[in-house]
Amino acid sequence: MNIAAFFDIDGTLYREGLITEVFKKLVKYEIIPPERWYKEVKPEYEKWDKRQGNYDNYLLKMAGIYIEAIKGLHRSQIDFIAKNVVTQKGDRVYTFTRDKIKWHKEKGHKVITISGSPIELVREMSIKYGFDDYKGAEYLIDDNEQYTGEVVSMWDSESKQKAIYELVNKYDIDLNQSYAYGDTSGDFSMFKLVSHPVCVNPTKELLQKVIDDKDVREKIQIVVERKDTIYDLKPECINNFN
């Protein structure tokens, strides 16, 4: 059987959210009206930036507008934007995660990304960092390769769990020896399935889930990368959720 390492992208490998970069491009190209950013997305971002709101709410708000905006667009338009985003921004990654990808590849492990970002972006990041396979949110297209406004999500725990089971069957993966890296509550199901889960710069919500689950708490590694320093923390050292 094979050992695998499953990686989230946004906030785990990439230092921010890839969909944020695509959103900015769509505003620049006037596909999304600028006022939708200022009136709908920016308030959610500012709440999170001031630590008064939830990061997931900010991302979900953007994702909702993104679904509306690309409806009717040709697939090639989003492919073009995705390639540009990864070419221009794809190096903005965490050192810890980048080095872990390299380490797993050297060990002969299957390296796979499971991300809630649009699959067009996930594919480009997968190519750039040499992943063996990838799963992302699929925005459906019709026979004319135009987006329909429908999406098969990959940002929630249930979707990521289903994706892992599919990959286990595809690559004959032994989860008892495998790894998972993530930063938000959507990654928690991956942590429950593998023997070596790693929180990378986790959100408060994810940390709470980890600490409340005895099995995950006992096997978790918590890593925080700040500036040029990497901190390896233990769950028992984290007790402030006010």
Please determine, for residue 59, whether its predicted confidence score (pLDDT) is greater than 60: yes
Question: What backbone torsions phi and psi does residue 128 show, to the nearest 5 degrees?
Answer: -60, -40
Half-sphere exposure of 108 (CA within 13 A, CB side): 2
What's at 95, amino acid-wise? T
* N-to-C CA span, the chain: 43
Instruction: Report the mean per-residue pLDDT for the chain.
Output: 91
Please determine, for residue 48, whether its predicted confidence score (pLDDT) is greater than 80: no
DSSP 8-state secondary structure symbol assigned to residue 114: E
Domain 4-237: state its class: alpha beta
The predicted pLDDT at position 56 comes to: 72
DSSP 8-state secondary structure symbol assigned to residue 175: G
Among 90, 177, 165, CA closest to 126: 90
Contacts 24+ apart (CB under 8 A), 226-232: 228/95, 230/95, 230/96
C-beta separation of 154 from 163 below 8 A: yes
Q: State the residue for tokens 């999170």.
A: 48
**Strand bridging mode 221-226 / 196-200:** parallel
Model confidence at 240, in pLDDT bands (50, 70, 90)? low
d(CA 67, CA 147) in angstroms, rounded, equals 9
d(CA 145, CA 167) in angstroms, rounded, equals 26
The predicted pLDDT at position 236 comes to: 79
Our measurement of the distance from residue 6's CA atom to the centroid of its chain's CA atoms, rounded to an integer in Å, reads 11
The most confident of 15-19, 159-163, 178-182, by mean pLDDT: 178-182
- Report the percent of the chain where pLDDT is more than 90: 64
The predicted pLDDT at position 13 comes to: 95
Model confidence at 145, in pLDDT bands (50, 70, 90)? very high
Model confidence at 135, in pLDDT bands (50, 70, 90)? very high
DSSP H or E stretch at residue 147: strand 147-152
Question: What is the domain partition of the chain in residue ranges?
Answer: 4-237
Please determine, for residue 178, whether its predicted confidence score (pLDDT) is greater than 60: yes
d(CA 101, CA 98) in angstroms, rounded, equals 5
Question: What backbone torsions phi and psi does residue 219 show, to the nearest 5 degrees?
Answer: -115, -5
For the chain, how many residues are written?
242
pLDDT digits (tens, 9 = 90+) for 14-34: 988 888 888 889 999 889 998
